[in-house]
Amino acid sequence: MLSMDVALSFFGTAVVLALVPGPDNLCVLAQSATAGWRAGMRLVLGLCSGLVVHTAAVALGLAVVFQASTLAFIILKLCGAAYLLYLAWQAFAHAKDVGGVGQGVGLAGWALYRRGILMNISNPKVSLFFLAFLPQFVTPGQGSVTGQLISLGALFMLAALLVFGAIALLAGRLGDLLRRSPEVQIWMNRGAGVVFVALALKLAFSGRD
């Protein structure tokens, strides 16, 4: 079991890390600005749910596979990049549909939740990050190491939920004002497409370090 000092220290660090601009919070920002805070929150919930998979991978030792196998890492990385490019294509395709931005064309219900999960689990660097980061806060004498890793993963998810949720709310409120202009709607979708392309290229050409 985690001590209170370790839990608080880890949670504070996780909040700071969640605030650092990265693929996840940039996607939340773009999605919330173009489709509203509710759409952004669905994406946030999906991203946080995806962290369950990475936490389990670290706890069960599966992340070591990606660290040891270059081929496995490259395959999953390229799958993630391809999915981001698909999202970019969707954003550019909807840019000409003025009414589509605010209504979330093709993303009704929990489609965004599933999108968040896919985006998260298709990025092997998250598992590698967890593999390097979580064990630093594990104390072998405090009980099951697996249990501690799961607890740390849950705390990280909570930190991400709070930070990404705040981003979704703020970006969504700002987007509500901007979406009143049809021209702004078009450029917001194009901007979201550019963000997805940039993230896809960054993931495709990134290494394991």
Q: What is the pLDDT of residues 47-77, one digit of tens each?
A: 999 999 999 988 887 666 666 677 767 876 7
Tell me the pLDDT band of 183, cut-offs 50, 70 and 90. low
Q: What is the mean pLDDT of the chain?
A: 79
pLDDT at 107 over 60: no
Token pair for 62: 């599966």
Tell me the pLDDT band of 141, cut-offs 50, 70 and 90. confident
Q: Name the burial class of residue 164, with classes exposed (0-12), middle (13-18) and buried (19+) by CB atoms within 10 angstroms of its CB.
A: buried
pLDDT at 138 over 60: yes
Could you tell me the end-to-end alpha-carbon distance of the chain, in angstroms, rounded to an integer?
A: 30
Please state the domain extents for the chain: 4-79+94-189
Q: What is the pLDDT of residue 65?
A: 65
The residue type of 18 is: A
Query: What mean pLDDT do residues 134-145 have?
Result: 80
Which residue's entry shows tokens 């931005």? 101
- Reduced to 3 states (helix: H, G, I; strand: E, B; else coil), residue 11 is helix
Contact criterion met (CB below 8 Å) for 204 and 198:
no
Q: What is the pLDDT of residue 200?
A: 75
The backbone torsions φ and ψ at residue 48, rounded to the nearest 5 degrees and listed phi first, read -70, -35
Q: How far apart are CA 6 and CA 11, in angstroms?
A: 8
Query: What mean pLDDT do residues 153-169 have?
Result: 95
The residue among 122 and 195 whose pLDDT is bigger is 122
Q: What is the pLDDT of residues 13-34, one digit of tens each?
A: 999 888 877 788 888 988 888 8
Token pair for 55: 């936490």
The residue among 153 and 178 whose pLDDT is bigger is 153
Q: How far apart are CA 140 and CA 146, in angstroms?
A: 10
Question: Which distant-in-sequence residues (6+ apart) come within 8 Å of 143 by Cβ?
Answer: 1
Q: How far apart are CA 196 and CA 129, in angstroms?
A: 21
Token pair for 41: 């929150």
Tell me the pLDDT band of 177, cut-offs 50, 70 and 90. low
Nearest residue to 188 via CA among 199, 204, 176: 176
Q: What is the pLDDT of residues 115-135, one digit of tens each?
A: 899 988 888 778 878 877 888
